[in-house]
Amino acid sequence: EDQVTQSPEALRLQEGESSSLNCSYTVSGLRGLFWYRQDPGKGPEFLFTLYSAGEEKEKERLKATLTKKESFLHITAPKPEDSATYLCAVLFSGGYNKLIFGAGTRLAVHP
């Protein structure tokens, strides 16, 4: 079954404490993996697209990496404003051009 699983479900960090969020997927024919940030009561904000294993992308304190089975979103020295829910989604062959979303990781960064 095509599936996207994110872990942990929730993560609490102290300001400056680096960590990683995980997104594992079991789909055949990955065409793209997407990371989004969602603040409460708002729509998701696009962060990154990764297309192939070994690819990495960075934006400020965030770096996304991709392997054949999973993606990591590394957060370096997080600040309270990084608190949000981080969603990953995959596009795959046979998926009718639709994204399958994981359940998200709720990140809380405390000063």
Partner 1 sequence: GAVVSQHPSRVICKSGTSVKIECRSLDFQATTMFWYRQFPKKSLMLMATSNEGSKATYEQGVEKDKFLINHASLTLSTLTVTSAHPEDSSFYICSARGRDHEQYFGPGTRLTVT
Contacting residues toward partner 1, per CB under 8 A? 31-32, 34, 36, 41-46, 49, 87, 89, 91, 96-99, 101-104, 106
Instruction: State which residue, 94 or 96, has the beta carbon closest to partner 1.
Output: 96
The DSSP string of 6-75 is EE-SEEEEETT--EEEEEEEE-SSEEEEEEEEE-TTS--EEEEEE-STT-EEEETTEEEEE-SSEEEEEE
Per DSSP, 104 falls in state: -
Shortest approach of partner 1 to residue 58 CB, angstroms? Answer: 16
Shortest approach of partner 1 to residue 42 CB, angstroms? Answer: 6
Shortest approach of partner 1 to residue 104 CB, angstroms? Answer: 5
